[in-house]
Structure 1
Amino acid sequence: MEARSNIIETRNLDFSFHPGVPVLKDINLRVPAGSIYGFLGPNGAGKTTTLRLLLGLIKQEQSPIQIFGKDFWRDRLTVLKRIGSLIEQPSLYGHLTGRENLEVFRLSYGCERTRIDEVLAIVGLTDAAGKKAKEYSLGMKQRLAIAIALLHQPDLLILDEPTNGLDPNGIIEIRDLLRNLNQAYGTTILISSHLLPEVEKIVTHLGIINQGKLIFQGTLPELQQFKTAALTLAAEVDDPVKATSLIKDNFTIKQVEGQLHISIQNKEQVAEIARIWEQNQINIYQLTLLKSDLEDLFMQIINN
């Protein structure tokens, strides 16, 4: 299969707010065209700083950044016309309706008026277009902010924590919206987040940043190969409290939906645990080895 070109490339990107105190160190970001790229990291890792540099919100013209194959600072206006973004909280006029908010930004973008109805339909706000933005739920505000970012039909969408603070239904709405934008319109999406299980559901590629360093970049299967996470043994027993007390000194255990989830290092430890329980009259109903998810892998990498 022919390799896709990268929409975003940075080369050995460094950044400091204060001399001698680096925030980013040697960042080589590669965001493939047509991808949903999850940019992951704990708070303070450098995610938002990186995104702000990519958008020129932090001025550092020596930053080695290429977007759409162009030097960002040399062709900044041309590049920005092809990018939509939402960084931190959406900037909306609460006293205006959703449609009126879009009209304000449509005039600044110079888009056709028909584009307003198009983006309202894309984000699922057609029926709420006449409602004042201050009356919108947080999820609706996020979708309206994304609609504004889509007005000029960008090829690249950059979103910083777009599901932050949303309830589960709002998170699902944003997730479905981003997947549709990517699949139906071919929009490349760079999304930063700390909600790892949600990111796992939609990303095609991801990068993990910690303490200003990009410590992994690739696809989810490549991440599985990059770092073999500790195995998790899911156990159903008749006496979870007693079963836990028998092995808690040697294993990390948590209860999940009526099961004991036990972190183990190898399959031999399954036999060890089963033997301890059987010797102490614990009835074992089921033992299952679970596949490591993105959160397991993420925590192992950043704590390495």
Structure 2
Amino acid sequence: MEKKMIEITNLTKEYNESAVVSNVSMTIKKGRVYGLLGRNGAGKTTIMKMILGLIEPSNGEIKILGKSLKGHEKELYPKIGSIIETPSFYPNLTGTENLQIFARLRGVDNKEIEKVLEMVNLPYRDKKVFGKYSLGMKQRLGIANAIMHNPELLILDEPTNGLDPIGISEVRDLLKKMCEQEGKTILISSHILSEIEMLVDDIGIINSGNLLVEDSLHNILQQNRSCLVFKIKQSDVEKSKLILAEKLAISDYVERNGEFKIHETMERFSEINKAFVSHDITILSTENHEPTLEEYFIRVTGGEGIG
């Protein structure tokens, strides 16, 4: 049985009698990457801040490694590294100098500074001060600071914000390595669902303060099945429906504006295509469509995507 790193039960946060987070219960398993997804204002950052003790919950309980956060803060917080919103450092100091201050506060050896800066692809001895950093460099330094004391749990709110595609890929690989090789547990939020899909093991989708879905990425993509897509001439749509029903015994499909999304595997592609062609159906295009996390997110939350 997998050990639980974080257990959240009936967590609620209200401001002026309005719930920003409403009765949320979540389980984050040890040694896995958990993606918390939601649009801006959905409640993701509020949940993370409550876990970190930056704001007080209105109701509910948070447990870390089986212990209630309340009353065990001094024991549990040293096990956590975090980035919440834009990382803040002293603007007139270099990255190394900033990390030296945090290392001293945490009792971390200075040799760890060079190690973590190399991990996030920042120079160890650099004359550029933090105030001159790009947004991407600031995010990298924030990640370095979060992992410098070798925490068991990482809580990262939009850690790839401001990074270019190469930087995003590097951070993704770093986080996967820390999880798979070092056994870290990672709670991450992001609005780049294609990147989250390549990183996470489990997903929580929050919308308007309510947790709508919590499941493994594997199960979610299995439910949001792949399908064969046939774009048919509009005048042939009704005839195509008859062929699917009477000739192929296929009823599991969705048709919209001549586009048939048929929930069958590639093994049946030739059979379907042949049946359409033999009955003079005009096929405008075909596609084997794989499910995406973006599509699932839109389906369960309604409306537009996350970004």
Q: Same fold (TM over 0.5)?
A: yes
Alignment partner, residue 233 of structure 1: 229
In 2 relative to 1, CA 184–125 (structure 1 residues): closer, same or farther, beyond 3 Å? farther
Supply the distance in 2 between the matched residues of 1:96 and 1:158 (Cα, whole angstroms).
25
Alignment of 1:79-228 (within 5 A): 79-126=76-123, 129-225=126-222, 227-228=223-224
Q: Which secondary structure does the structure 2 equivalent of 1:43 belong to?
A: coil
Mapped contact 1:229–1:300 kept (Cα < 8 A): no
Supply the distance in 2 between the matched residues of 1:62 and 1:25 (Cα, whole angstroms).
9
Alignment partner, residue 301 of structure 1: 300
In 2 relative to 1, CA 263–132 (structure 1 residues): closer, same or farther, beyond 3 Å? farther
Q: Which amino acid aligns with 2:139?
A: Q
What is the TM-score normalised by the length of structure 1? 0.81
Cα displacement (A) at 1:107: 1.5
In 2 relative to 1, CA 180–4 (structure 1 residues): closer, same or farther, beyond 3 Å? same
Supply the distance in 1 between the matched residues of 2:151 and 2:126 (Cα, whole angstroms).
22
- Residue-by-residue CA offset, 1:106-162 (whole Å, 9 max, x unaligned): 121121122212212222224564432234332222111111111221110001111
Cα displacement (A) at 1:301: 1.1
Alignment partner, residue 8 of structure 1: 6
Alignment partner, residue 47 of structure 2: 50
- Residue-by-residue CA offset, 1:53-111 (whole Å, 9 max, x unaligned): 11011023753000121110110121111100000001122321111111111121121
Q: Which amino acid aligns with 2:135?
A: L
Q: Which secondary structure does the structure 1 equivalent of 2:198 belong to?
A: helix
Cα displacement (A) at 1:245: 11
Cα displacement (A) at 1:300: 0.7
Q: Which secondary structure does the structure 1 equivalent of 2:99 belong to?
A: helix
Supply the distance in 1 between the matched residues of 2:95 and 2:187 (Cα, whole angstroms).
25
Mapped contact 1:99–1:130 kept (Cα < 8 A): no
Cα displacement (A) at 1:169: 2.2
What is the TM-score normalised by the length of structure 2? 0.80
Supply the distance in 2 between the matched residues of 1:168 and 1:94 (Cα, whole angstroms).
26
Identity %: 38
Supply the distance in 1 between the matched residues of 2:104 and 2:20 (Cα, whole angstroms).
37
In 2 relative to 1, CA 82–251 (structure 1 residues): closer, same or farther, beyond 3 Å? same
Mapped contact 2:114–2:124 kept (Cα < 8 A): no
In structure 1, runs of 5+ residues without a counterpart are: 236-241, 254-261
Mapped contact 1:205–1:217 kept (Cα < 8 A): yes
Alignment partner, residue 60 of structure 1: 57
Supply the distance in 2 between the matched residues of 1:40 and 1:90 (Cα, whole angstroms).
20
RMSD: 3.2
Q: Which amino acid aligns with 2:9?
A: R
Supply the distance in 2 between the matched residues of 1:42 and 1:150 (Cα, whole angstroms).
27
Mapped contact 1:216–1:223 kept (Cα < 8 A): no
Mapped contact 1:229–1:297 kept (Cα < 8 A): no
